Amino acid sequence: MGICHCKNKGRNSRRRELDGASHNAAEDRRDTALEQDWWKSVSPKDVEMLILDSLKAIRSLVENDQEPPQELFKLHNIADQDDGWIQIVDSMVRVVPVEDPLGPAVITLLLDDCPLPNKNAVLRLSSKFNLSSKNRVSRGMDNRKPRNICIALGVLAEKLSGPSSVAILTSATLDFLIGNLEDEIDPVVTLFSLIALEKFAQTSENKVTIKRRLAEAGDPLLRLEARPPSSDLIESQVKFCATWALDNLFLVEGRKFSYETVDVLNINAMLNTKDVSEYLKISPDGLEARCDAYSFESVRCTFPATEGVWFYEVLLLTPGVMQIGWALKHSKFLNHEGYGIGDDEYSVAYDGCRELVWFAARSQEVGGGRWKAGDIVGTLLDIPAKVLHFYLNGVQVFSSDLLFTVSANKYFAGASFMSFQQCRFNFGSDPFRFPPDTEFKSFNDYASLSPQERIVLPRHLEMEALRNMSIREDSCAICFDSQAETTLIPCGHSGFCQTCTAQLFECPMCRAKIDRFTVDPT
Amino acid sequence: MVSLPRRIIKETQRLLQEPVPGISAVPDDSNARYFHVIVTGPDDSPFEGGLFKLELFLPEDYPMSAPKVRFVTKIYHPNIDRLGRICLDILKDKWSPALQIRTVLLSIQALLSAPNPDDPLANDVAELWKVDEAEAIRNAKEWTRRYAMDN
């Protein structure tokens, strides 16, 4: 289950707050109980402590109905005033450690949870950051503050998309972010600068500006993409994100899309681009996935296991929250609510960051220690014996009959990702690092994909195809999938198909109760 | 991408081809179920001159259930709370699958012209609206100036 910003219903997620308006008496009471100027007596040191305490508290947050930690309420109230908000963001970028796998999550959660600042406050904050191409962070220097600034800018760019996002993308901010894409810069800072640019580009005016500035800087993204393959996991993430940005956002004239040049002939099982939540990024070879959204993104493999014993491995490029495991077709991806693989009774998943195994949205602790970037997660599904195993670097951490309690005939590899997490799947196209000491099959040896199915199309091309799709005018007014052919009795309204009509109790036009319906002669 | 229902494709095409005056609704570049919305404050209302940003999300079972809509720009209104959540019957029990994104946004615009303090979501705002309407309208104008103009 995704933490916090995509989790605790009705509190903090940007999209989760859409979950219907309810009259929240508890919240009203909380507000009136607080003195208006209460935040003024809080020192900068207190704010820093509150932020670090939130970081600790968030780690223990796993259940969906859990109340968010008290620290978050306090910070939320401080942020109600512009000065308080600026102080929180400023403290946050100074204190959140780079090495904490939940650090980026805390920054996004706090910013997401706080009231939307007005443009003036954001501009004051950005001048406080004092950004320019001069404060570059070379490799080996302290990268904490610039990395955190990039994460914060990314959240603000997304939250304020529109004119305010244009206003914060000042020339100095652009100099800072684009300057960070150069070779001598610390790769962590490069990575999060690139992600911040991506989020600014959600506002089309910014996108045009960024594209122009990238061209003026000699297309640094092309240089990032062309860096030699590296065993360094941060460098690999930089290359992945550069390629994704070039395919999806900052297209460069003359560059071929990576799906046109990638060699996928030996790959017979991939992450399924037709079975993935909206914001997950998938590599052109279909084996690597990354989430930079604030939701909990999920994907299933193209090939289902139906009988026998199956194994696959995953290389973790990042050490944060991911839920890696197995899912049936029924398992739902509710990315904005924080539900993914392991969060219903049709899927099971291992999350080595929080050291948990998830099934039916409930977790149980497992051993093996906390996973790290570079670790290999393996999982074996033994259908005849009705048992599955998870391994961390070849050591078994969990085995159980979960998932075999419901009858099913198709089991898919699947995974869910919190913000800024990335991993690479091996379904058998490469040798396994820690194969279990038992007979098993790999998807790649038994699956097949058509040439069309091997293409991981950039999303904008996919959307363009959708938009150009033509839809018949005599379609059902509810689904537009089938032809309209029913008339409702007694009101007489028509224009719906049989499938939709069957789901209705009252007429969509006049709300008259439907006694029955007739099917129009064709 | 999880396949997109034709109904959503059709509504999106229409919104882009025949936009509603005073309302812009643009689908997100990568999520076809998520719309960035801007509603102009209606003339002769305390929200006149303001540009209000909203977000609209079409849930999995849309149109059998209502879109989820929220104000992102702060607004002083008895039927909109401080998190931007809207109290509007067609977004809840009075939803009908014949309603559309377009009709929902028009209803929200109408709600700005005609606040209803008898069915409040923001209790303190509604209270003031009932006891001192002039003062409430002054506040609404001030918030519009502060949060919804040049922002």
8 Å CB contact of B98 and A481: no
Burial class of residue A490 (count of CB atoms within 10 Å of its CB; 0-12, 13-18, 19+): exposed
Could you tell me how many residues make up chain A? 522
Closest A-chain CA to B63:
A478
Residue A402 CA to residue A386 CA, distance in Å, equals 8
Query: What residues contact A371, with CB distance under 8 A and at least 6 apart?
Result: A316, A319, A352, A353, A377, A392
Mean pLDDT on B15-44? 87
Residue A40: its pLDDT value, please?
61
8 Å CB contact of B2 and A278: yes
> Nearest C-alpha of chain A: how many angstroms from B144?
12
> Nearest C-alpha of chain A: how many angstroms from B41?
17
Amino acid in the structure at residue A374: G
Residue A466: its pLDDT value, please?
74
8 Å CB contact of A477 and B91: no
The per-residue pLDDT for range A276-314, each reduced to its tens digit, is 988 899 999 999 999 999 889 999 999 999 999 999 999
> Nearest C-alpha of chain B: how many angstroms from A342?
19
8 Å CB contact of A18 and B73: no
Interface test with A, best of B57, B85, B91 (most A CBs within 10 A): B85
Closest B-chain CA to A272:
B1
Q: A-chain residues within 8 Å CB-CB of B123?
A: 23, 28
Beta bridge partners of A288: A424
Residue A286 zone, left/alpha/beta (φ > 0; ψ -120 to 50; rest): left
8 Å CB contact of A15 and B55: yes
Residue A233 CA to residue A225 CA, distance in Å, equals 14
Residue A23: its pLDDT value, please?
43
Could you tell me how many residues make up chain B? 151
8 Å CB contact of A19 and B121: no
Q: B-chain residues within 8 Å CB-CB of A164?
A: 151
Residue A499 CA to residue A504 CA, distance in Å, equals 9
CA dihedral A138, A144, A145, A149 (to 10 degrees): 100
pLDDT over threshold 60, residue B106: yes
Query: Helix, strand, or coil here: A413?
Result: strand
> Nearest C-alpha of chain A: how many angstroms from B14?
11
8 Å CB contact of A479 and B85: no
Q: How many CB pairs under 8 A join A and B?
A: 124
8 Å CB contact of A508 and B98: yes
Q: What angle do CA A361, A364, A369 make, to 5 degrees?
A: 125
pLDDT over threshold 80, residue B30: no
Q: Which of A23, A466, A478 sits opposite B121 (nearest CB)?
A: A23
Closest A-chain CA to B145:
A118
Q: A-chain residues within 8 Å CB-CB of B87?
A: 21
Q: Which of A21, A202, A508 sits opposite B85 (nearest CB)?
A: A21
8 Å CB contact of B9 and A466: yes
* pLDDT < 50: residue spans in chain A: 4-35
Residue A450: its pLDDT value, please?
92
Q: Which of A161, A475, A504 sits opposite B36 (nearest CB)?
A: A161
Residue A245: its pLDDT value, please?
97
> Nearest C-alpha of chain B: how many angstroms from A472?
10
Beta bridge partners of A356: A351, A365
**Is B99 tagged catalytic?**
no
Longest dimension (CA), chain A: 77
Give the residue among A336, A260, A346 at the shortest CA–CA distance from A300. Answer: A346
ipTM above 0.90, yes or no: no
Percent of residues, chain A, with pLDDT higher than 90: 56
Q: B-chain residues within 8 Å CB-CB of A163?
A: 150-151
One-character DSSP codes across A58-115: HHT---TTPPPPHHHHHHHHHTTSHHHHHHHHHHHHHHS-TT-TTHHHHHHHHHHHSP
Structure tokens at A241: 């994100």
8 Å CB contact of A276 and B1: yes
Interface test with B, best of A27, A248, A463, A475 (most B CBs within 10 A): A463
Q: B-chain residues within 8 Å CB-CB of A509?
A: 96, 98
Q: Which long-range contacts (CB under 8 A, 24 or more apart) does A479-483 make?
A: A479/B5, A479/B6, A479/B7, A479/B63, A480/B5, A480/B6, A480/B7, A480/B9, A480/B10, A481/B5, A481/B6, A481/B7
C-beta of residue B77 within 8 angstroms of C-beta of residue B125? yes
Closest B-chain CA to A459:
B30
C-beta of residue A314 within 8 angstroms of C-beta of residue A425? yes
How many secondary structure helices (H) and strands (E) does chain A include?
17, 17
C-beta of residue A360 within 8 angstroms of C-beta of residue A40? no
Structure tokens at A99: 């090495």
Q: A5: how many CB neighbours lie within 10 A of its CB?
A: 29
> Nearest C-alpha of chain A: how many angstroms from B122?
8
Residue A20: its pLDDT value, please?
38
Q: Which of B32, B123, B146 sits opposite A466 (nearest CB)?
A: B32
Full 3-state SS string of chain B: CCCCCHHHHHHHHHHHHCCCCCEEEEECCCCCCEEEEEEECCCCCCCCCCEEEEEEECCCCCCCCCCEEEECCCCCECCECCCCEECCHHHCCCCCCCCCHHHHHHHHHHHHHCCCCCCCCCHHHHHHHHHCHHHHHHHHHHHHHHHCCCC
8 Å CB contact of B98 and A467: no
Residue A86 CA to residue A126 CA, distance in Å, equals 9
Q: Which of B2, B29, B151 sits opposite A277 (nearest CB)?
A: B2
Number of alpha carbons in the 13 Å side-chain half-sphere of residue B2: 22
Dihedrals φ, ψ of B24, to 5°?
-120, 135
C-beta of residue A17 within 8 angstroms of C-beta of residue A6? no
Per annotation, catalytic residue among B25, B58, B87, B112: B87
Burial class of residue A382 (count of CB atoms within 10 Å of its CB; 0-12, 13-18, 19+): buried
The per-residue pLDDT for range A333-365, each reduced to its tens digit, is 888 788 899 999 999 999 999 999 999 888 999
Residue A198: its pLDDT value, please?
95
Structure tokens at A183: 């070779």
8 Å CB contact of A274 and B7: no
Query: Helix, strand, or coil here: A395?
Result: strand
Residue A202 CA to residue A160 CA, distance in Å, equals 10
The per-residue pLDDT for range A474-504, each reduced to its tens digit, is 889 999 888 899 999 999 999 999 999 999 9
